[in-house]
Amino acid sequence: MTESLINTPYVQQLIGKVAGVEQSGGNQRLKQIVARLTTDMFRIVEDFDVTPTEFWTAVSYISRLGQANEVGLLVPGLGIEHFLDLLMDEKERQAGLAGGTPRTIEGPLYIANAPLAKGEARLDQDPEQGEVLFMQGQVKDVDGKPIAGAIVDVWHANTKGGYSHFDPSQSAYNLRRRIETDAEGRYRFRSILPSGYGCPPDGPTQQLLAGLGRHGRRPAHIHFFVEAPGCRKLTTQINIAGDEYLHDDFAFATRDGLIPDVVRHDDPAEIKAHGLNEPFV
């Protein structure tokens, strides 16, 4: 086994130059991270004896990932978003701030500024037939006190697993709303039951996953941000029980406490009695 080139004075100096270590300008933290990143990249090339062909294949892959706007899609597939959640859980635990609804990843498909409603909303605005879904809940602080005026920002896919603003067949903000909780901290919405998401089959994310022998599927889920003045922001999701990918999510977002019971009603009159029957205008 030959000595690593990385430890030679010349390569150490090279890494320092790459990261601007001796330059007075710039950002110290950025320099530290770039130096580490450079070292780790050099290490991979050396340890795996990466050939120039392999190297340029990787460069081309990263370019295509960006061109396809799939960087934010590969990231959860590599488990990094979930790992950030684990780190934040641990930090909160150490600070004595644990408790409440578990967090889970945001993903790449959030759009800000969805229509704002008070207390309740209907999310489905396109003429799509789907199983009618009602969800209701109460926003409480970690001591169990209801929070009036909290914002529940909810977004989810349609019955084909597509999200408005990314799927051109849907109208703007379809299946996306912000709901302000009422005096008792309650919110309620009507929508359609989403289907699971699948990575674009011809895209670079799916290509890498296939190379790992993995699929790019997510179980049916609904995303939430919950925010209130003076409180930490909660980013979470619920999963729809019964989905075949419930515990086999390519983005690793399924967590205990985020799989509510889904109660099915067959009688249309009973569904109608839940209200929110007016189509969105």
Q: Indicate the pairing of strand 186-192 with strand 176-180.
A: unpaired
Q: Candidates 43-51, 85-93, 103-111, 265-273 — which segment interacts with ligand MBD by CB under 6 A?
A: 103-111
Helix (H) or strand (E) holding 74: helix 71-77
As given in the structure block, the two tokens for residue 87 are: 């780190």
How many residues line the site for ligand MBD (CB under 6 A)?
A: 10
251 binds, among ligand MBD, Fe ion, none (CB under 5 to 8 A by kind): ligand MBD
User: Using the rule CB under 6 A, is 76 a contact of ligand MBD?
Assistant: yes
As given in the structure block, the two tokens for residue 259 are: 């799989």
| Residues recorded for the chain | 281
User: Using the rule CB under 6 A, is 107 a contact of ligand MBD?
Assistant: yes
**Closest distance between Fe ion and the C-beta of residue 221, in Å?**
6
252 binds, among Fe ion, ligand MBD, none (CB under 5 to 8 A by kind): none
Do 131 and 192 meet the contact criterion of CB atoms below 8 Å apart? yes
User: Using the rule CB under 6 A, is 65 a contact of ligand MBD?
Assistant: no
**Closest distance between ligand MBD and the C-beta of residue 33, in Å?**
24
- The residue (of 107 and 204) whose beta carbon lies closer to Fe ion is 107
User: Using the rule CB under 6 A, is 197 a contact of ligand MBD?
Assistant: yes
Give the one residue of 123, 209, 251, 259 binding ligand MBD; rule: CB under 6 A. Answer: 251
Residues that bind Fe ion (CB under 5 A): 107
- The residue (of 100 and 107) whose beta carbon lies closer to Fe ion is 107
Do 5 and 11 meet the contact criterion of CB atoms below 8 Å apart? yes
Distance CA 48, CA 233 (A): 42
As given in the structure block, the two tokens for residue 20 are: 């601007």
Find all residues with CB under 8 Å of 245, minimum gap 6, and list them.
196, 217, 218, 219
Map tokens 């029980």 to a residue: 241
Binding site for ligand MBD (CB under 6 A): 73, 76, 105, 107-109, 197, 218, 251, 253
